[in-house]
Amino acid sequence: MIKIIPAIDVIDGKCVRLTKGDFSKKKIYNENPLEVAKEFEEIGIKYLHLVDLDGAKAKQIVNWKVLESIASETNLTIDFGGGVRSKEDLRIAFESGASKITAGSIAAKEKETVLAWLDKYGEKIILGADTIDGKVSINAWEVTTELPLIDYIRDYWALGITSTIVTDISRDGVLTGPAFDLYKSIKSEIPKIELIASGGVSEIADVDKLNEQNIEGVIIGKAIYEGRIKLDELKRFLC
């Protein structure tokens, strides 16, 4: 069964959503991310994808207090990303209660650093692979590299990464449906990697289809906040 992983994106300590990563298209959904996290936990959700958008821009963790409050007041398994670029960031994130860390831009820019993290923390390190037009995107989606996405994931899989979050930027926050063909291609090429789909989920039928494709996890953000997916609809995926 596919893992349901709601997203909380944080700017200035508030729960927000962007459209295609555009900071100028920010919508605040709740002043208190902890309240949102508790709502998720109350219906039986076990996982949370927490992104420090301020940290992603600052290239260092900023909203660690939000992470700390959610980790200390819920039992959610939190994967945390945004601004994790150094040993100090890693220390802060884990000490603040993160269960896993998403290595995004740094994985494309400082491979040896991420491999050192992987050697120390193993499966606690998730590869964040954001993409547009089949290429890896970095720096809060401001820069598109020449790195082919599937080759990039395959390379890290060979080096020990077991899980990746793949976000199709063109679909993020626009509720047009996930990149089903892209995820199918990744699973075909790298069948044993844990693939977490992110971006575009607009209705419960999207979750059903990803589950049918044997995708291991799905991150859902705007569809929940906009009421396109009701929390009760997710209960049948929870176990």
Please give the positions annotated as active site.
Answer: 9, 130
**Closest Cα to residue 191, out of 171, 168, 164, 218?**
164
Using CA atoms, how far apart are residues 36 and 229, in angstroms rounded to an integer? Answer: 15
Please measure the distance between the N-terminal and C-terminal CA atoms of the chain and give it in whole angstroms: 8
Q: Which residue has the tokens 């709740």?
A: 30
Contacts of 122 (CB under 8 A, 6+ apart): 160
Give the helix ranges, DSSP H, for 43-196. Answer: 53-58, 64-73, 87-95, 105-109, 111-121, 149-158, 180-189
